[in-house]
């Protein structure tokens, strides 16, 4: 078995098991927790609507912080949207999903994907630079932050390398790319990348708690 076969077969397989089991483990583990009792008088009833509201409003910067966070916010958007487009709108990737989902959807031309991939990498690097140079951010960053950053950027970089080639062999680069994806899948449920499926849960919870306490959201 060569490296590519290993990557496409066992490596992806195991990564998929871990991704699915790990994500569900974390989600269920959190959702089944008993709510912490709050003995204070509720100011407002913190319902689902409050949760949805925060899920929405937190997508934008609150006005007092606009100036300070505009740049990182934009970079984070570019990185996430670029990542989304590369993963779900690149035709060979759509075919990967079609392989087990059984249906396909329209994609973007490779040249556009390439541009978005580069944009994602550049903004990812900008975010890292900020993380390192901003004293407060650096203080609150731990291994998880840096490793999660690496694991996110690595597949994009290896994917872009496939199309740039630079004298390396396609099958080798593709194998490395898929292995890097497997690494992402394995790490995703456990570290801070868990925000992929937890981000709306945490925002909703925050919304409900804040609403109850009468905080402005």
Partner 1 sequence: MKKRPTVGEILQAKGVSRRGFLKYCATTASILALPPSMIPRIAEAIENARRTSVIWLSFQECTGCTESLTRSASPTVEGLIFDAISLDYHHTLQAAAGEQAEAARHAAMQENDGNYLVLVDGSIPLGNPGFSTIAGISNVDMLKETVAGAAAVVAIGSCAAFGGIPGADPNPTGAVSVMDLVTDKPVINVPGCPPIPMVMTAVLTQFLTFGELPELDALSRPLAFYGQTIHDRCYRRPFYEQGKFAKTFDDEGAKAGWCLYKLGCKGPTTYNACATTKWNNGTSFPIEAGHPCLGCSEPNFWDDGGFYEPLSTGHFDSGEKLAGAAAAGVALGAVAAAAGRRRQAKFMKEG
Tell whether residue 136 is a contact of partner 1 (CB under 8 A): no
> Considering CB distances under 5 to 8 angstroms, the limit depending on partner class, which of partner 1, ligand HEM, none binds residue 27?
partner 1
Torsional class of 2: left (φ above 0), alpha (ψ -120 to 50), beta (otherwise)? beta
Alpha carbon distance 56, 63 (integer Å):
15
Instruction: Provide the token pair at 179.
Output: 């292995």
Q: Which residues pair with 202 in a beta bridge?
A: none
Does 204 engage in binding with ligand HEM (CB under 6 A)? no
Number of amino acids touching ligand HEM (CB under 6 A): 36
Gap between the terminal Cα atoms of the chain: 56
Interface residue with ligand HEM, options 195, 198, 201, 213 (CB under 6 A): 195
Per CB under 8 A, 198 contacts partner 1: no
Please check whether residue 217 is in contact with residue 204, taking contact to mean a CB–CB distance below 8 angstroms: no
**Helix, strand, or coil here: 90?**
strand
Does position 51 bind ligand HEM by CB under 6 A? no
Interaction of residue 103 with partner 1, rule CB under 8 A: no
Partner interacting with residue 72 (select from partner 1, ligand HEM, none; CB below 5-8 Å by kind): ligand HEM
Residue 101 Ramachandran class (φ > 0 left, ψ -120 to 50 alpha, else beta): alpha
Q: What residues make contact with partner 1 under the rule CB under 8 A?
A: 2, 4-5, 8-9, 12-13, 16-18, 20-34, 36-37, 91-93, 95-96, 98-100, 107-111, 170-171, 174, 178
């Amino acid at each position: 078995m060569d490296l590519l076969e290993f990557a496409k077969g066992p490596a992806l397989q195991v990564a998929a098991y871990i991704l699915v089991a790990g994500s569900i483990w974390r989600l269920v583990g959190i959702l089944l927790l008993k709510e912490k009792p709050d003995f204070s008088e509720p100011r407002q009833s913190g319902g689902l609507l409050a949760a949805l509201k925060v899920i929405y409003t937190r997508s934008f910067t609150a006005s007092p912080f606009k100036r300070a966070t505009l740049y990182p916010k934009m970079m984070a958007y570019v990185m996430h949207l670029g990542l989304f487009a590369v993963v779900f709108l690149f035709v060979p990737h759509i075919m990967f999903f079609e392989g087990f989902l059984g249906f396909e959807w329209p994609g973007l031309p490779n040249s556009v994907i390439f541009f978005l991939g580069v944009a994602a990498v550049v903004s990812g690097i900008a975010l890292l630079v900020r993380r390192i140079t901003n004293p407060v951010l650096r203080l609150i960053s731990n291994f998880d932050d840096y490793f999660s950053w690496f694991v996110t950027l690595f597949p994009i970089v290896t994917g872009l390398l496939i199309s740039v080639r630079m004298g390396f062999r396609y099958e080798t680069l593709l194998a490395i790319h898929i292995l890097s994806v497997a690494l992402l899948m394995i790490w995703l449920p456990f570290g801070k990348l868990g925000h992929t499926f937890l981000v709306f849960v945490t925002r909703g919870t925050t919304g409900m708690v804040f609403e109850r306490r009468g905080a402005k959201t």
